[in-house]
Amino acid sequence: MSADVNIKTVQAIYDAIGRADGQFILDNCTEDVDWATDTSSTAAPWYGVRHGKEPVAAFFMDFGAAMEVHTFEPFSFTANDDEVHTMVRLVATRRANGESMSMNLHHFFQFRDGRVCFYRGTEDTAQTAAVFSV
């Protein structure tokens, strides 16, 4: 696929996140998708490598159960024929304690046959850990 097509796919996935359309996200992933936040921390329930569509669905459920999102704004996209890098502004509050975090995320998507086969996200893990330590 072309860089432009891959960017449009990632933008559509972000739109699906906003409307809680998990099926759309999974439909745009390969069966063997490898999905993770790139960290050795175990502070947040969505941390850890997920292989396959069902575990990816659990990633979103784990995040959504723990966090209320106030801002999720992708603001930069760079791509080639099989990769997309994005920057996203996130502001969210932990549901259990009302503690908030505000950070930029970096997302890396790799594509195979027009679908996401590999995803890694990076975030301010110290800020996330602080929200979960209270």
Q: What is the mean pLDDT of residues 41-57?
A: 97
Q: Which residue segments constitute the domains of the chain, with CATH numbers given?
A: 3-133 (3.10.450.50)
- Closest to 28 measured CA to CA, from 109, 123, 120, 122: 109
pTM (2 d.p.)? 0.95
Whole-number pLDDT of residue 91: 98
Whole-number pLDDT of residue 1: 76
Determine the 3-state secondary structure of 35 from DSSP. Answer: strand
Measured distance CA(93)–CA(91) in Å, rounded: 7
Whole-number pLDDT of residue 134: 83
Amino acid in the structure at residue 76: S
pLDDT, tens digit, for every residue of 1-29? 799 999 999 999 999 999 999 999 999 99
What would you report as the CA-atom Rg of the chain, rounded to the nearest whole angstrom? 14
Measured distance CA(114)–CA(29) in Å, rounded: 9
Q: What is the mean pLDDT of residues 42-54?
A: 97
